[in-house]
Structures are given as C-alpha cells and as structure tokens.
A and B are shown apart, each in its own frame.
Chain A
C-alpha cells in the first residue's frame, strides 16, 4: 500500500477522532440521533477538515514556521506561536462558508444542525486536525489526505452510531438509560471495537 493510502486509513480508523482520540464528542453525541443529520455532519466534517488542514498547512509553512521568512533575509524569525490564532481564523471562515452553503442548498440539514453548526468553529476534532498536521510535519499532499481521512473516519463513526441509535428506538431500555445514557454506553462499546484497528496497526 502506498504511503498516502495507508495514511488515509490510519487517519480514518486507527486514529479515529471520536472513538480512539475522543475528540469532538459533543457534536458526535448530539447529532447522532437521526441518520440524516449524522450523514450531514459527516460530510460537513470531511469538507471542513479537508479544506482547513491543507490550507493551514500552507499558512503555517509559508508564513509561520521557523525559517519561513528566510527568503526575506530573516531566517531566525519564528512565528509558530501565532499558529493557533491563524488556524482558528481559517476554521471560523470555513465553518461560516459551510453554513452559507447549507443554508442555500440543504436547508433541511441546516435546520437539523441548529446551534451545533456555529459550534463547529471551536470543535476540538477540527482544530486537532491542524495541530496534528504541524506536530507530525506532514507535506501538503499528506495534509490533504490526513484531513479527508480524519473527516471520513468521523463520518463513518457518527453514521454508525446514528444507525444503532435509530434501531434502539424499538428497544425496551431501562428508563434511566434512554437517550444520552445508552449513547454513552454505545460510544464506549464502539470505541472498544475501534481499538482492534490499533492492534492491526501495531502488528504490522
């Protein structure tokens, strides 16, 4: 398998954002009640991560990284401490764009998101995508693949949880477990399942 292909699978399954790293659980739990909203969230996450990670890569490498200003005669200039504010600005703009697109073309999904759409601005999984990109020193192509992979992993996980929760509408659960209670238990069980991907990666 090529490097990029395996990076995609690693980002999607081994380092799954909600189930292995427990990032972005707020939206993961809140929008997994109905499959339509969950698929919408998955597509939105893939879109936002797929755009922001490579964009932030360009900004970081071109403007902020140590030595980025070497061409201007300032090889010692290190602006990497500005990366958080720059990344969040890019993410906010991407989410705003997403909101406009959904409002224009997919009003039903827009309505299903409610307050969780603007909250994607500070969603930890999305910021984590950009921070991991810096930490792991990805190239532009790797950043793109990593962003899309993480988003796909999030989409798969949230769609699975929504599918199970829909089935549970017919289950006779104890009163205290109904709603979020069982969703937490399910998340835990799915997380155990995803742990097996980590075993596969370790065995290679």
Chain B
C-alpha cells in the first residue's frame, strides 16, 4: 500500500514538476505578442504569433486563392513575404516553389507561420477584388454524364472581364445532397445507372471553396460560365472516398440559386506572340481552352490555332458542334476531337486512341513543331503523356503552358 502510494506520488510530482517547468519556460521563450502584417504597404492586418498567413489574409478580406484549402499542394496562394517574421520555406513548400521563387521570397501563404512582423505583397487585383460576391445561376445543363455547364449571372457592379485561362473560386455552403435527386437527362441515365452513382450522397458541415476555370465566350458578357466535372469516387471505393464536396453541390444547384464567387484569378494565359498555337485538352480541361480559343478567334490576325481534344466516348464529347462551326467559319482554326473508347452505338468515324498519339501523328507532319506554343489543360495523366510526346517532338518546356488542377 505504502509502495503504491509513494510510487504514484513520485510519478505525479515528477510529471507536474516537468509541466510547470515547461509552462514557465514557454512563457519566456514563446511570447504571445500581437504582430503587424503589412499588405502591399496599404493595408495593415493584426495577427498573433503562430497564426498561418493565409488565415490572417483571408480574415482581413484579402481573398488570395487557395484551391486546395490550405494543404500546400495547389500552389495558388503564392505571395511575396519579406521580413523576419515569416521564417524560411517549409519542406512542404520546396516541392511547389522553384529555386528562383524561393530566392525571391515567394512563399505559400498557407504554409507560412508568423513569428514576427512581416510585409506581404499580393497582386493589386486581389486586393481590389475584395471578398466574395454573390451571383445567380441562370442556366445549368449536363453536357456529358459527369460534366455540367453552369452559367452564373454576375452582379451588375462586377465587370465580367477576365483574361482567358483565369479561374474563379466557388464557395459551397453547408449542405446535404442525395445523388438520387439529381436530374439526369435521358441520354446520360444509362451511364448513371450502370455506374451506381445514383446511390451516392455528398455533404459538408462547413463552407468549402474550390477553384473552377472560366469557360466564358465574349458573347457571355455579364455571366461566368463553368464546366463542372462531378468528382465521383473511383469504382469500387465508394464507401471510402466521398464525392467531391463543391462539385456535388454544383450538380444540385438549379437556375435561380445564389452562388458565392471570388476572382477571377490566374496565371495560365495566352502569350502575346505571333506563334502558331496548339491547344490540347481532355475532360473539363475544355473550360479554359474554350475561353482562350473564343477570345483569340475574336481578335484580328492570322495566328493559326489547332485544338486537340480527347474524350472517352461520344457521350463525353461536348461543345463539338460549336467547335465545328468555328472551324467552318475560320480557316485558321482546326478542331481534332479524338475518342479513346468509342461506344458501338456512337458510329464514330473520327480519330480514335489517346489524344497524345493524335497530337504526335499530326504534329510530326508539321514543318516546325518546336516553333509552336502549346496550351494544355486536362487530367494529370494526360498532361504527363502530352509532355513526354512534346519532348519527343523536340519542343522546349518554355513554349508549353499548362494547368492541371482541372482533372
């Protein structure tokens, strides 16, 4: 009995003593001080030691994009941070930031823990963009079994001007959605029944924000057009992997619903040169490329444009009539859709195979493929296949521009 008592007492006193010692040292070593974060020398935000820079900026209304939600993978929250308070780049940032960016004090805001005062510079348009704003859905239609086009009317005071290739952020409120209630047009019903997507459910307890590329054409003035791909779980893993939070919500919205947006933002733009342009897209990689092609064809000039687009079957191929009409109207534009697995009923007479193979076959006959500019957008596997195809064609990396978050 005495032994148990003394033993317990020894351990309790020891642990309490260590804890008290650590608390005393902590109060000396880690002062809980208020910090000042200067944004573009114009705005001063208050922060506390240990806060993440992204949270401080968002709290202060500086809506820098963060498509991945602050996990350090999308690389969109790049800001230039100077001052002692930011510390050095974390290991998570090394994979995303180039050596040149690290030297120029570029950091990912979501990975920067504040330790002192610092000065942040962000692009001016982000500062003036302010927080989010609310648009109204005017039309929503399914283009392919998993792709939905959503047109949002922007508020009167928002300009719908954007650089083709830009994206906007859409914030989904807390919601619950049963996939059985999604209105699927008759032509895609079979695909939904076979895949069992009807039985899925999605939802979120908190607000979630994701980035979507704008697919707007010049004639869509005052509106923002998005192509949303429903992120369904991989086959056989429906129980473990939930469907995409924001894409599921967007499959549930109907005309008249309000949508919270911010932006536009973006780094993926058409270069102001006279080079021939080659666009390669797959899936919803369509969106930014559609915006770019429409804007480019609207400009005077004779820049040659080729568009290679890969889809699985005819049901997954969308906007095809639109691009055929453009190709008929403009001699400098060619449209080459390729199906990887045409269904027997598709009566497909066009090219089959993977899009990088079509690209290689066509560009091999080109007199100077290394002189063209390449714009890619699609799933990561497509991007890597096309990058190695372009390497075989002798194209240097500085003529290749791509955006691969729109998988």
* B6/A114 in contact, CB under 8 A: no
* B10/A63 in contact, CB under 8 A: yes
The answer to whether B95 has its CB under 8 Å from any CB of chain A is no
When the two chains form the complex, which single residue of B3, B6, B25, B88 contacts A111, counting CB atoms closer than 8 Å?
A: B88
CA distance A107 to B87 in the complex (A): 6
Q: Which of B13-21, B68-76, B144-152, B242-250 is the contact stretch?
A: B13-21
**Which residues of chain A are within 8 angstroms of B357 by Cβ–Cβ distance?**
none
The answer to whether A22 has its CB under 8 Å from any CB of chain B is no
* B88/A108 in contact, CB under 8 A: yes
Among B144-175, those with CB < 8 Å from A are none
The answer to whether A90 has its CB under 8 Å from any CB of chain B is yes
A86/B88 contact (C-beta < 8 A), A96-B22, A100-B30, A107-B115 known: no
* A64/B29 in contact, CB under 8 A: no
Q: Give the size category of B's interface with A.
A: 20 to 34
Interface of chain B: mostly helix, strand, loop or mixed: helix
The answer to whether B273 has its CB under 8 Å from any CB of chain A is no
The answer to whether A77 has its CB under 8 Å from any CB of chain B is yes
When the two chains form the complex, which single residue of A82, A89, A100 contacts B7, counting CB atoms closer than 8 Å?
A: A82
A interface residues, tally (CB under 8 Å)? 26
Nearest to B25 among chain A residues (CB) is A97
**What 1/0 mask marks residues of chain B from 79 to 94 whose CB sits below 8 Å from any chain A CB?**
0000000011111000
**Which residues of chain A are within 8 angstroms of B10 by Cβ–Cβ distance?**
63-64, 79, 82, 86
Nearest to A63 among chain B residues (CB) is B10
* B29/A101 in contact, CB under 8 A: yes
CA distance A182 to B309 in the complex (A): 44
Nearest to A107 among chain B residues (CB) is B87
* B115/A111 in contact, CB under 8 A: no
Interface of chain A: mostly helix, strand, loop or mixed: helix
The answer to whether B194 has its CB under 8 Å from any CB of chain A is no
* B6/A93 in contact, CB under 8 A: no
**Which residues of chain A are within 8 angstroms of B87 by Cβ–Cβ distance?**
107-108, 110-111
**Which residues of chain B are within 8 angstroms of A92 by Cβ–Cβ distance?**
18
The answer to whether A74 has its CB under 8 Å from any CB of chain B is yes
The answer to whether B26 has its CB under 8 Å from any CB of chain A is yes
The answer to whether A197 has its CB under 8 Å from any CB of chain B is no
CB distance from A73 to the nearest CB of B (A): 10
The answer to whether A85 has its CB under 8 Å from any CB of chain B is yes
Residue positions of A touching B, CB distance < 8 A: 59, 63-64, 69, 74, 77, 79, 82, 85-86, 89-90, 92-93, 96-97, 100-101, 103-104, 107-108, 110-112, 114
26 contacts between A and B (CB under 8 A): A59-B14, A63-B10, A64-B10, A79-B3, A82-B7, A86-B10, A86-B11, A89-B11, A89-B15, A90-B14, A90-B18, A93-B19, A93-B22, A96-B22, A97-B25, A100-B25, A100-B26, A101-B29, A103-B115, A107-B88, A107-B115, A108-B88, A111-B88, A111-B89, A111-B91, A114-B91
10 interchain residue pairs of minimum CB distance: A93-B18, A107-B87, A100-B29, A108-B88, A104-B29, A63-B10, A79-B7, A111-B90, A114-B91, A89-B15
Residue positions of B touching A, CB distance < 8 A: 2-3, 6-7, 10-11, 14-15, 18-19, 21-22, 25-26, 29-30, 87-91, 115
Given contacts A79-B7, A93-B21, 7 further A-B contacts (CB under 8 A): A74-B2, A85-B11, A86-B11, A93-B19, A103-B115, A108-B87, A108-B88
